[in-house]
Amino acid sequence: MTLNLSVLTPTRIVWDSEVKEIILSTNSGQIGILPNHAPIATAVDIGLLRIRLTDQWVTVALMGGFARVGNNEITILGNDAEISTDIDPQEAQEALEKAEENLRKAEGKRQAIEANLALRRAKTRVEAINVISAS
């Protein structure tokens, strides 16, 4: 039995196919979703989406959004998303270093919040690459 997974952003369809299982980062922690999961709607946190195909895992860097699960269909409406194999490792590492620097230089609460969000996004992209290389 499988699940139909759709990952959509405002600009593109990132994923649209059948999967065996997913692990999703939500605002209240990670959840695993298998076929016949109870219907839910949840906020999606900045973090990794792990997708199990038949015998392999694919990692997607998700930048927050919402997910709806029901009738073996999962729809994730994300602010942005990238499949780990589409992420340039050097660019992701440079973005992480720049985000860390911007957080150190942040002046005031607003700049600190924005810099912290940028750092979380950059860390998620690097983590997505590292998960794939560790597999």
pLDDT of residue 134: 47
Domain coverage including residue 36: 3-84
Do 8 and 58 share a domain, yes or no? Answer: yes
Supply the pLDDT for residue 37. 96
**Model pTM?**
0.90
The reply to whether 57 and 30 lie within a common domain is: yes
DSSP string, 59-104: EEEEEEEEEEEETTEEEEEES-EEEGGGS-HHHHHHHHHHHHHHHH
User: Per-10-residue mean pLDDT for the chain, 135 residues long?
Assistant: 96 97 94 96 96 93 97 97 95 96 94 95 94 55
From the list 13, 30, 3, the residue with the least C-alpha distance to 82 is: 13
CATH of the domain at 26: 2.60.15.10
Instruction: State whether 7 and 70 are in the same domain.
Output: yes
Burial zone of 43 (CB within 10 Å; 0-12 exposed, 13-18 middle, 19+ buried): exposed
pLDDT of residue 135: 46
What CA–CA distance (Å, rounded) separates 123 from 5? 25
